[in-house]
Amino acid sequence: MVRIGVDGANVMVGKHNSVTSIFKKELPDLIIVKCVCHSLHLCAEKAAESLPRQLEFLVRESHNWFSYSPKRLEYYRTLYETMNNNNDPKKIQGLSGTRWLARYHAIKTILEQWKELKLLFSIAKSDDKCFMAEQLYDIMRRHPFKALLIFLQNELKHVIQLNLLFQTNNVEPNKLFEDLFLLYKNLLKRLIVPSQLEKLVDSELIEFNFREHLMHTASMYFGFDFHSISRELEEKDLLDVRERCKNFLCSLAEQIQKRLPDNLSLLKTVADLHPRVATSQVKPDIKPLLNYIQRTHVYGKKNDIESEWYQLSNKIWTNTSSSADFYFEVYNDCDAAGCKRFENISKFGLAFATVPISNASVERAFSVYNVVKNKLRNRLSIKMLQSIMMVRFSLSRNGGSCTTFNPSNKMLNLFIGASTIFYF
């Protein structure tokens, strides 16, 4: 075992008698990776608490307005089609504690349909005397709230883009933790006085008390869309909105700083093993990684690793887009006697290529499990449940589906035999 991906629960990552602490007793060089998707979701949720409660009320109740009333949904569809040449409106997502950053998609949909929703609530307020519609309309007619929503959408966009990268399997895992640090560093650049930030190296930013060196609110830039709508605000409202935006960014940076992996410096250094770096003539020093490892039977011999690392650029390699493919090619390279030329550095690179970047695949398994074993099928045996799960994940891994799957002759014969026995 080289790395283990876990969530941030105390039973998993606590200092005393947690799963990872027990593992570390047996494997001191085990790399612990806390799920970044969970962490980013919690950071965004916590930072959003610094904004007015009316924003969350608007997002939540706009979804609820349609979720329990097909009549309201049909009326809004007719209104939207009239205003937009027969185009259908998008569904407003509900806030969720389990769907990571669902808030962003809900805010984006509301802003795209701002005029239509505002007219809808205005009509419901006047014709139906609906108190909820009156509250929602009162929020939407105020420019400061719209400006804050536009700001929030732009900020959550960067977080969700990184979140999606950690959820996918088609990325270069060794560079993701560098992207995580860059998100945090970009936040600090928008908050801290530039002259103070230039004095610090990256390793110092992880524990840096940035609140002591914040820029004045008037000097902060919150994006082009925010700048455009801010012209419609009165001076007093603009000052208040900018101060709330500053508080959100400070809270977000603070939350990310708290939840950065303890071994982030090590995880960032792993990006140096990328094939483009490994095949270049000028290479970074990999001693920080060598100092961390202990098990030579897993990673290889340290002296040989360093020696072979500097020899990789002496040969032209075919697979340089993916770390796993590259180091697999390096591992299979042999000399004239059939001995492996780069056995140690390839073992080292392949070990670090096994990165559990998040718990997204595990969370998907729970979701599939809940779909398969529902209230109507709650007596499924463990063996049958495992078989159904295996079929689903095998089809997904191979890029197929139940409509394109071609059963083998053995499968057909088993099915025909089972059907014959059932018939008789």
Q: What is the mean pLDDT of residues 76-88?
A: 88
* H or E element at residue 170: none
pLDDT at 420 over 70: no
pLDDT at 113: 94
Distance from C-alpha of 146 to C-alpha of 225, rounded to nearest angstrom: 11
Q: How many residues does the chain have?
A: 424
For the stretch 123-175, pLDDT in tens is 999 998 899 999 999 999 999 999 999 999 999 888 888 888 887 767 777 67
Residue 220, C-beta contacts closer than 8 angstroms, at least 6 positions apart: 190, 191, 242, 245, 246, 249
pLDDT at 424: 47
Higher model confidence: residue 111 or residue 15?
Answer: 111
- Does the pTM of the predicted model rise above 0.75? yes
Q: Which of 247, 260, 249 minimizes the C-alpha distance to 40?
A: 260
Distance from C-alpha of 347 to C-alpha of 342, rounded to nearest angstrom: 9
Q: What is the mean pLDDT of residues 11-17?
A: 86
> What is the SS3 assignment for 247?
helix
Residue 399, C-beta contacts closer than 8 angstroms, at least 6 positions apart: none
Distance from C-alpha of 334 to C-alpha of 328, rounded to nearest angstrom: 12
Instruction: Give me 336's structure tokens.
Output: 């004239």
pLDDT at 397: 76
pLDDT at 398 over 70: yes
pLDDT at 144: 93
pLDDT at 174: 65
For the stretch 197-245, pLDDT in tens is 888 888 788 888 889 889 999 888 898 888 888 888 999 999 999 999 9
pLDDT at 404 over 50: yes
List residues bridging with 3 in a β-sheet.
31
pLDDT at 63: 92
> What is the SS3 assignment for 407?
coil
Using CA atoms in the order 91, 97, 101, 106, what is the torsion angle rounded to 10 degrees? 20
Distance from C-alpha of 407 to C-alpha of 411, rounded to nearest angstrom: 6
Distance from C-alpha of 200 to C-alpha of 182, rounded to nearest angstrom: 15
Residue 226, C-beta contacts closer than 8 angstroms, at least 6 positions apart: 147, 150, 151, 154, 245
DSSP string, 108-132: HHHHHTHHHHHHHHHHHHHHS--HH
Percent of the chain with pLDDT strictly greater than 90: 28
- Any idea what DSSP says for residue 33? E
